[in-house]
Amino acid sequence: MSTETQQLSDLARLLANAKNVVVLTGAGVSKESGIPTFRDSLEGYWSRFDPGELATPDAFAKDPETVTRWYDERRMAALACEPNPGHFALARIEAAISERGGRFTLLTQNVDRLHQRAGSQNVVEVHGSLVEWRCTETGERYTDLPAPFPSYPPRSPMNGALRPNVVWFGESLPKEALDAADDALGSCDLYLAIGTSGVVYPATGFVGAAKDAGARAAELNMNDTPVTHVFDFTPRGESGSLLPALYELAFGQGAA
């Protein structure tokens, strides 16, 4: 058995018996649905912009038109994409764990809602959602909005400028999301970080909280990251292949 296969089957054995599983997903999980990762070079018109510079309150204050156009293009692209086998496998893993009375929490940094569309139930959007926009004057949130918007920045019915309800650099994560993450991580016994580069705080610190609670931790990614050394298991590959294989090994017919 190769080291890679051995890692996945050791991890599957832990998953099959875990009582409180916490998963953190990043852009790599949606890549096979056709959504570029955050740090990929984008194509076409948007290749002239650095996403790290557009995802800031300053960028929105200086050039709301460009920022909201970028988010609107991404919103429409996300709505046109479908969940991939990695999203569906996570939903099946949650169902299998819930069925036997375990706890499963999916913390996602992704703003595309593909986990929910794949059937995941307990999803915490730590960086918000592209589908939801909020009024910069009243804070009111809107989801049923025209796609594309007729003008940039889009306007609320009361004519306030709308911004995407996502978390930009320098902004705090939503308190309810941080509380839900803390609560799940505090008693977690297995933690999986999937398709994330591990460079953005505070999400990259979640593995530390899980390990403090005594959890084993796995990083599923195509590549090593700056935090790889913290993890006990590091299977390498595309999440759209690794996750269905992990589900089969843990819960499928002939599972260990």
- The residues that are catalytic are 127
Residues facing residue 162 across a β-bridge: 135
Site for ligand BJW in 41-80 (CB under 6 A): 55
Min separation Cβ 164 and ligand BJW, Å: 7
Exposure of 150 by Cβ count < 10 A (0-12 exposed, 13-18 middle, 19+ buried)? exposed
* Tokens read off for 75: 């919103």
Total residues contacting ligand BJW by CB under 6 A comes to 32
Q: Of 71, 233, 213, which Cα lies nearest the Cα of 147? A: 71
Give how far Cα 157 sits from Cα of 145, 146, 152, 161, 162, Å: 11, 12, 14, 10, 10
68 or 239: CB nearest ligand BJW? 239
Residue nearest to ligand BJW (CB): 28
* Tokens read off for 227: 């935090």
Told to check if 84 binds ligand BJW by CB under 6 A, we report no
31 or 69: CB nearest ligand BJW? 31
CA dist., res. 245 & res. 83, Å (int): 17
Exactly one of 57, 202, 205, 226 binds ligand BJW (CB under 6 A); that residue is: 202
148 or 202: CB nearest ligand BJW? 202
CA dist., res. 220 & res. 231, Å (int): 10
Min separation Cβ 201 and ligand BJW, Å: 4
Site for ligand BJW in 167-186 (CB under 6 A): 167-172
Amino acid at 27: A
Residues within the interface to ligand BJW (CB under 6 A) = 26-28, 31-32, 37-39, 55, 109, 111, 127, 166-172, 195-197, 199-202, 221-223, 225, 238-239
